[in-house]
Amino acid sequence: MKILKLAFTLMLAITILSCSSDDDALLATSLVGQKGDVVIKFDNGVGDQDFIFGVNYNKSNGESYKLESLKYLISNVKLKDANGIEYVYPYDENIFIVDEADANNAGEIYITLNNVDAANYTELTFGVGIDQERYALGAEGQGDFLEVAQEEGMLWSWATGYRFTRFDGTYSSAVTTDGALNVHMGSVGTDLDNYREVTLPFPNTVRVRPGVEPQIHVQADISKVFDGETSVNFEEGYSQVHTDSETTSVIANNISKMFVVHHVHNE
């Protein structure tokens, strides 16, 4: 009797798995050629607080800071579906500036991905900054974005390339009050690569369909720029982060760990 029960249980499991696999195949087939839009909402905060320009935030070492500008570059956005298939947003359009000054009343900055392949997505990947492949295309290979970046103050010169971040404000410590704080971190040509890729799982499936616009709520904890993987001291060179190989690399690593998908809406 136990053998019969075991055999029945095994057959039932195989049947369920087979049906599930068939359902996945039917779903994938039914969605072929269909498109939908996806909104990624970036929400900058500091720990469990909303980020607000001009507000003083404390660090773990007793230093504090306040910012008057906060913006960063996002590129190479792609989504992975439940079957492990990646959808990569079109290359020429796949670079964005997340600027806190553009936030709505809820503190959210919207990036809309248009005409995304319909699927059930489980994961988001993007880069902070630009990769060496895009840089290697030269100034003429950047399309319209080069002018946009220049207007937004996210470009030094083409020789040194893009600013990946622009955090401007002041800091205070035991020995300094309202000292200048500027984090304009980027790669420096091909010699110093500070591009970082971030992969974030979704807490539930993002269902892209025609006429449906799911929203992915990405929280960015700005405190981790300075108190993240590595805690840094403004008085030790981290109040002015530009092209130094040590400080820029530390900040790049910290920034790559500041993102999380808080929730998603399928609307």
Q: Are residues 180 and 51 in the same domain?
A: yes
Q: Are residues 5 and 137 in the same domain?
A: no
Q: What is the pLDDT of residue 14?
A: 54
Q: What is the pLDDT of residue 267?
A: 74
Q: Are residues 83 and 25 in the same domain?
A: no
Assess whether pLDDT exceeds 70 at residue 102: yes
**Torsion, Cα of 173, 175, 179, 182 (10° steps):** -60
Domain carrying residue 187:
34-265
Q: Are residues 19 and 149 in the same domain?
A: no
Could you give the CA distance from residue 212 to residue 121 in angstroms, rounded to a whole number? 14
CA proximity to 125, closest of 107, 142, 113: 113
Q: Are residues 187 and 234 in the same domain?
A: yes
Q: Are residues 201 and 225 in the same domain?
A: yes
Which H or E run contains 25?
A: helix 2-30
User: pLDDT per residue over 66-101, tens digit each?
Assistant: 999 999 999 999 999 999 999 999 999 999 999 999
Could you tell me the pLDDT band of residue 31, with boundaries at 50, 70 and 90? confident
Q: What does residue 138 show for φ and ψ, rounded to 5 degrees?
A: 80, 175
Q: Are residues 251 and 157 in the same domain?
A: yes
Could you give the CA distance from residue 126 to residue 198 in angstroms, rounded to a whole number? 5
Average pLDDT over residues 23-34: 64
Q: What is the pLDDT of residue 19?
A: 47
Q: Are residues 10 and 140 in the same domain?
A: no
Q: Are residues 139 and 241 in the same domain?
A: yes
Q: Are residues 17 and 109 in the same domain?
A: no
Token pair for 6? 């075991």
Could you give the CA distance from residue 100 to residue 33 in angstroms, rounded to a whole number? 35
User: pLDDT per residue over 145-177, tens digit each?
Assistant: 999 999 999 998 877 789 999 999 999 999 999
Count structural domains, the chain. Answer: 2
Q: Are residues 42 and 24 in the same domain?
A: no
Q: Are residues 42 and 110 in the same domain?
A: yes
